Chain A
Amino acid sequence: MDFKKILHEILEPLDGALGAGLIGMDGIVIDQISNQASLDMNVVGAEYSSIIKNAQKASSDFGLGMTSEILIATDKTVIIMMLVAKNYFVTLALQNESNLGRGRLELKRAIPKFEKDLS
């Protein structure tokens, strides 16, 4: 289960990638890579897991089914979270000027690899 290798594969082709991590729905970080000291994946895990839970509830309330992806854009960064095997999510932090489309593509490519290792 070399999650770090998969995380490297996500970050490698992206300019301005700040970090990536595989996190459980309970907020515990399974593996992470951070290119920026200020990006603490433990904080990411703890904070974003509750956002994902809220999103799942909202999505279900609105009759939209299961939430598969969350994107948060701020003044400085863009955070993308994608669901992996229902109980985990992979997150990618990018600088605002990074290629968001490429970032999403790399995450989508990585999901089956994570799922294979997690099953």
Chain B
Amino acid sequence: MAHSFLGELYVMGKNFTLAIEAYQKVLALNPDDEIAQTRLKQTIEKVTEVSPKEAQKKANAEVKKDEKKAAAKISTATVTIAELYMQQGHFEKAVEVFQELLAEDPQNLLLRQKLSEAMETHQKQRSLENSVVDKLKKDEFVRPPDLKEDKIEEILGVSNESSIKATALDDSKFTSEDILQVMQFSQSEVPLEEETKTEPAEIKKQLVEKKHLEPLTNVVQQVGSSGITLAAEPDSKKQRSMQESLAKLQSVEGIVSCVFFNPNGDFLMTTGMTIERNFFQSIFHILTNSQHAEEQLNHGLIRQVILKSEQGQIFLMKVAQYNLMVLANEKINIGRLRVVLETTLNRLASAE
């Protein structure tokens, strides 16, 4: 009787497996119990009714799991993969991966810099390839002595016998080394100015178009190939000197961006990547808080603040009445930076 009652309770609670067990126990004790037989039959029927739904649920859950796994497989974009592409010379793929990563983390300046590098290298590679093709077509190319004519034709995809003077031929196929050889030989012939004249502006334009780079609202002038963005026309010798200093600082390996800002936190000029105003406002707060702390401790005026993080460093310093922020990645050469900073400070002091 107790098992029969228990069975009913389990059925009410939709715990059909336990209900079946309970009814089976009743029937084990009293095989002729018709009520228990009926209840067992009904419960088994209910189980078979519910099962397809549960099966569907399980199937759906499995599908979702598979989808998640598939999504995880598809989203393999990591900085390491992008860097591997770069190392292997697949710059276009590297750009794609960096763009994917930036879409997930658009504020990450290091990713922006890496994307910019990848795009720059990719463009250089393309312009180099184009110039090689042009030179070969114009017969201006000085062919490496051991590069076979048929290989050059295959590389170019042309068969212009008159444009290339024949040397000894063989049937071996060209390799990637041959392509590199062509490129290396012609590299010195490519005028560097042509390559670099428009690139920074072009890269910046592409980044802005892809919303990876937010233009500063108070920018009035962008200085072409130097990549310096100004908040106002340089109106003094000092500001021009600051502009030159930024260009020099940008030449130090590992520097992502340099920003001059006013004592009140207003942006003056920047090089490398432009940085959103609220970003260097947070940096400005560090400087003001540090100054407040040092005043409390009677340590004098702040000269320099360095923040060392996992993937880079931020240098903040007072330069005359301005503040300079240098954002660097892990490749920064501190020694070189110090030398350049010293000359920068001297240059600005003399411009006072």
Residues of chain A whose beta carbon lies under 8 Å from any beta carbon of chain B? 38-40, 43-44, 47-48, 50-51, 54-55, 57-59, 61-77, 79
Contact B310 A54 (CB under 8 A): no
Q: Which residue of A lies closest to B102 (CB)?
A: A63
CB-defined contacts of A58 to chain B, threshold 8 Å? 279, 282-283, 286, 307, 314
B300 contacts partner chain A, Cβ-Cβ < 8 Å: yes
Contact A54 B107 (CB under 8 A): no
CB within 8 Å for A74 and B306 given contacts A57-B282, A61-B282, A63-B108: no
> Which one of B135-143, B147-155, B289-297 contacts A?
B289-297
**Roughly how many angstroms separate A7 CA and B327 CA in the complex, as a whole number?**
32
Contact A47 B293 (CB under 8 A): yes
Nearest chain B CB to A60's CB is how many angstroms away?
Answer: 9
CB within 8 Å for A68 and B309 given contacts A50-B289, A54-B285, A63-B108: yes
**Roughly how many angstroms separate A39 CA and B110 CA in the complex, as a whole number?**
38
SS class, residues of chain A in contact with chain B:
mixed
**The residue from A48, A51, A66 contacting B309, defined by CB atoms under 8 A apart:** A66
**The residue from A48, A65, A67, A75 contacting B303, defined by CB atoms under 8 A apart:** A75
**Roughly how many angstroms separate A38 CA and B298 CA in the complex, as a whole number?**
8
Contact B311 A38 (CB under 8 A): no
1/0 per residue, CB under 8 A from A, across B100-117: the answer is: 000001011111000000
Contact B297 A40 (CB under 8 A): yes
CB within 8 Å for A43 and B297 given contacts A58-B282, A71-B305, A73-B303: yes
CB-defined contacts of A75 to chain B, threshold 8 Å? 299-301, 303
CB within 8 Å for A64 and B289 given contacts A43-B297, A71-B305, A75-B303: no
**Roughly how many angstroms separate A70 CA and B292 CA in the complex, as a whole number?**
16
